[in-house]
Chain A
Amino acid sequence: MKKSVSILLVWYFLSPAVLSAQEMTAKDLVQKANDILFQESSYAKSKMIINTTSGQKRELFYDSWMKDRGEKNLIRYTGPRRIKDQAMLMLNNADDIWSYFPRTNRVRKLASHAKKQKMQGSDFSYEDMGSGDSFLTDFEHKKLSDGSKEGHDCFQVELKKKDGIDSNYSRMILWIDKENYIIWVIDYFDEKDPERMVKTLVQSDLQMIDSIPTPMKMVMHNHLDNSSTVQELIEIKFNIEIATICLRKED
């Protein structure tokens, strides 16, 4: 009995899939996770649930388009009626952000440092929403000890901001699923104090969409403000044809 268990264990640890995952570097893991997170393009219908300052829950619905692996993003609100067709365009990994207000028919460019700000008061920043390949390009990667997170067996990878990079976070810890490379949890640390965890993103409700494992629910917990924002995907399509992403008043 003992012998057969040992054989099974040896077989498991020497199996190609596990062996390759064990051997992957931190950067490889982030690359894998990023590849799943940011497809070439996508279109989604989503719902965001925010808590208003007087304690009510408010549901915001929007369509979003993503192109060039997250480098370009467009969000257009579809409801409630109050904000229907209000839109936001993020280009260059959210370095350039524009807002469109249908009620006044005006387009506004947001301040240059807006990337670090809360996206429309939610617990997500513009950087969280549209940072494209920045996990790969703007951070150094280090593998930490494996562990279990939200019930998933995960690799733990630390991302440290490179010198000269403008980001809200000094470092992040990614919890990447060992089987499918989904990032289940991201812990974000303060820009100035690398020991202070400021936010945590938790993804859940995994579904296979066009053969791509996709968490349909994201909850961003803000530890500083004791608040959280929920974002749910209602529908998503990957790798669709998007000619261009722009704000056009006639649309």
Chain B
Amino acid sequence: MREKFFSWLASAAYRRAVMIFVICFAVTILFGALAGNLRMEMTWNALVPENHPAKDTFEQVIEDFGVATQIIIALEGPDRETLIETTEDLKPFLENMTMEIPAEMNGGEPDRMKIARQVHVQIDTGFIAEHGMMLIKAKDLRNQKVLYTDYNLVPFFTHVNDILESEYIQNSDNLTKQEKESVQYLDGMYDMIESLDPSENIPSGKLVRQSINAITISNGYSLSTDKKMLLVTITPTVNLNDRFDLTALLVNTLEAELDKFISRYSDITCGITGGHVITRDELEAGMDDTIRNVSIAFVIILLVFIVSFRMVSGPLLAMIVLISGITWDMGLAYLVIGRLNIFTAMCGVILLGLGVDFAIHILSAYSEFRHKGHDIESSLREALMRIGGGLVTGAVTTAFAFLALIFTTYPAFREFGFVVGAGIISCLLASLFFLPASIVIKERIWMKIRKDYKPKQIDMEFKFLGSIAEVTTARPWTSIIITTIITVFLGFYINDVYMNENYMDMEPEGLESIRLQREIPKRFNMSADNMVAVMDDLDETNRLTDLLNERPAIGMVESITDYLPSLQKQKARIPLIREIAEYQKSLPDSRPVDKEMLIEELYRFSDNLTEMSSMAFISGLDRVFNKTNFFLGLNEEGDQIGENRVLTVIENIENMESSESVLKLYQDLFIPAMKNRISSMANPEIITLETIPQNIKDRFASNDGTRYLLIIYAKKDIWDGLLTSPFVNTVIEDVPGASGMPILMRAMIFTAKEQGAMAFLFAFIAFLIILMIDFRSPKTTLITTVPLFLSFLWMFGIMGLIGFPLSVVNVIGLPLILGMGIDDGVHIIHRFRVEGKKKLVYTVSSIGKAIFLTSMTTMLGFGSLIPSTYRGYASLGKLVTLGIGMCFISSVIILPAILKIAWGGKKEHPGFFKA
């Protein structure tokens, strides 16, 4: 049956060569035109399992609250003042920034639109100055109210110390639960201590106001612990659900304009990150990598082909045919799927590596028969009849391995399975129809041009492979024992293979957006990314905000309740606020400053900071630890590496003769200003949604005011250890409807793991069935799989040994290796059955060349991924190169030894050998 088909195919290719060529060419043009319409969706977002409830929530949140996916602008500079000045200049610049939408992106009409829907440089301190006390918990108001009873410096600092000791040092839970508040408190006190220094400051209204702002409403800027990085966020006018090209245009415009802006400031640098920026970077890097990798793979494979066959025309034809096969596949991908994603964008390279194998086998066999003196038609017939069976079996098994992915529920795998599976079949068909017809036409043309044309002599054997087979088959049991020892050794390392869950490690290398994603958690002790939830009920928003703020894994929770506490809470606070307001009416007058007492209290303050620092160290509270260390000039070990600002101020007060009068002047300004501020903040008026400034409502409430946004930040890098992340676990457990990229990425990894394992199983079962149909023998089927099984053991062992992890991208290489790795064994056994048991060494040296070349081309194809900027691609390139290398070694070294033991003895095996 098969022989008949291949015989017919050879005749058709010879007799109807032009017609077949024209049909194939026309199909290529048609499918090429279709492929041109493929959408490139090179983002992780596009790979999230469909129907995941968090996906819809996230898209809805993005639609309703753009603030959920902001662009973060990170300014780095020498000090806080420079950063704040630059930020104040930057704000109007960003608010007025526009981008030009070219006509081709806007239905033929060019347009101009604003970049930022909202620019956020600092929290609304005006609102806090008017309602601040209503935003403080009743418990804290009760504990802190003593602070507002006397603003003379000595009692004020005595009260500060009393509160520090009772609230934080003698109550370690508070330090843990209120890490954010304690850090804000320390920030304010740092500014106040700075302003007290009599040697550096002449007390002025402005200085005192700044100091009061710091301790009451904070400066409102998002500054890093070391005060050398400041974050500005913008809510872009294009949201993440919009078109990719608009997102890219917005980010590119913003980046270019920022570059221009920042060039005016010599000591400030600036970078951007966030969902939009990473999406743009993924898209650009993915496109660049795809084009570059395909080009490199094409050139390298062609060169290997030319060098191996020592001719140009044949390999060139084979590569053109291969490109046609890939084009057919891309056309099909457009018809069936409509897009390429991060995984399927690599298919060009994958198919170059896989599809070229068919051409290599056909060209090798055809050249061999031409060299032996056969004419074109009989050479084609002999070649196809000899290698066609193995070729089709190999291709179908590999294609089935990928097509089996269609039965998974994960769209990313389904698409990948379809594109590669269909691609293999396309390349096989192109090799079986287009290539023979092209060879015939080429040969006829050569014969017309050159009357003395003779096909080139090609050495179809790889003698060194034959020599290896000679050694391994001479003492087959020794070969098997050595292989077993190596396998056992590598087997010990298999358990060391781990899964790298951090998708940032898959992202392109050297990108500023990725660097900032890593840098921000370090500098701010808080992740740049977040999770979100939408609440219908204000009380529930309140409850969850409070609950999450107490959880250790949560860095910060932002919601409208930061500005709008529940009515019940507000009512509980009113009597305390009234009490504080009452104090302001009968505050003690300014008294002379008792320098010694003040110094005593400042020493006490320094000691309190030292103790807080030690407690924070033991409790693992990095934010408090870093802040107190910065204050005290200590490093992690507790060594004095910088200035202790409190002790410096004490020293200056002690050494300066006029310090007492300078401090009195400061106090005289401090008392009325503080009185005014606290009187204003101690406002017992109930806050309602209507009272809240519009910019806050825009951030946290839906337009109709019925739904509220909760933004939840982690304390550490959100992407580290994503699968077991306490942050994600906490949010999922506490907030059932929560969403965000961490949940979606986690769902993606879980699905990839689960479905990947299933796909692997499907593929393996498909192989066994196809091999059983092909060989009709369980023994032959089993032996065919031995090299593959060994290759996987070796590959995982080496991965464990060198610390090379699996990742969400490179796991797709596993079915790939399965599909390609089985081919080597299939080809050797097919050829062995044709050549007979006496020609085992010849079989290996002859088919070995084709196997060597197919393995080399596949390894080179995937090897071209290794220099990718997209590290996920690079890891896939490494994995497949390693896996295919192992498959080749096991097939040419151990399989011949097994064949010798199984069928090489004196016993006859008439059903096995075809000869």
Contact = CB atoms under 8 A, between A and B. Distances in A.
B611 A104 contact: yes
B165 A118 contact: no
A60 interface: yes
Interface in A28-86: 50-56, 58, 60, 77, 80-83, 86
A233 interface: no
Contacts of A99: 169
B617 interface: yes
Contacts of A22: none
Nearest to B603: A104
Which among A54, A56, A224 has the greatest number of chain B C-beta atoms within 10 A? A54
A51 B165 CA distance: 25
Contact of A54 (B166, B170, B171, B521): B521
Q: Chain A at the B interface: mostly helix, strand, loop or mixed?
A: mixed
A226 interface: yes
Interface residues of B, number: 42
A106 B733 CA distance: 41
B614 interface: yes
A226 B618 CA distance: 19
B707 interface: no
Given A86-B614, A226-B726, A108 B170 contact: yes
Which among B173, B716, B720, B727 has the greatest number of chain A C-beta atoms within 10 A? B173
Contacts of A104: 607, 610-611
A169 B638 CA distance: 37
Nearest to B634: A82
A101 B614 contact: yes
A110 interface: yes
Contact of A225 (B552, B615, B622): B552
Given A103-B638, A114-B171, A58 B620 contact: yes
A122 interface: yes
A82 B716 contact: no
A110 B172 contact: yes
Which among B179, B614, B615, B637 has the greatest number of chain A C-beta atoms within 10 A? B614
A52 B621 CA distance: 6
Contact of A53 (B169, B173, B525): B525
A240 interface: no
Interface string B592-617: 00000000000000010011001101
Contact of A52 (B175, B622, B729): B622
A117 interface: yes
Contacts of B179: 53
A108 B169 contact: yes
A155 to B, nearest CB: 31
A60 B726 CA distance: 22
Given A53-B715, A81-B637, A111-B170, A60 B622 contact: no
B636 A122 contact: no
Contacts of A58: 617, 620
B655 interface: no
Contacts of A82: 614, 617, 636-638
Given A121-B620, A226-B553, A226-B726, A106 B607 contact: yes
Interface in B520-566: 521-522, 525, 551-553, 555
Interface string B718-741: 001100001101100100000000
A180 interface: no
A148 interface: no
A227 interface: yes
A120 interface: yes
A237 interface: no
Nearest to B611: A101
A53 B716 contact: yes
Interface string A219-237: 0000011110000000000
A117 B620 contact: no
A106 B165 CA distance: 12
A110 B553 contact: no
23 contacts: A50-B620, A54-B525, A55-B715, A56-B620, A56-B622, A80-B637, A81-B637, A103-B611, A103-B638, A109-B170, A110-B172, A111-B171, A117-B171, A118-B173, A118-B176, A120-B618, A120-B619, A225-B553, A225-B730, A226-B726, A226-B729, A227-B552, A227-B553
Given A50-B618, A121-B615, A224-B551, 15 more contacts: A53-B179, A53-B552, A54-B521, A55-B716, A55-B717, A82-B614, A83-B618, A101-B610, A108-B170, A110-B170, A114-B170, A120-B172, A120-B618, A121-B176, A226-B730
Interface of B: 165-166, 169-173, 175-176, 179, 521-522, 525, 551-553, 555, 607, 610-611, 614-615, 617-623, 636-638, 715-717, 720-721, 726-727, 729-730, 733
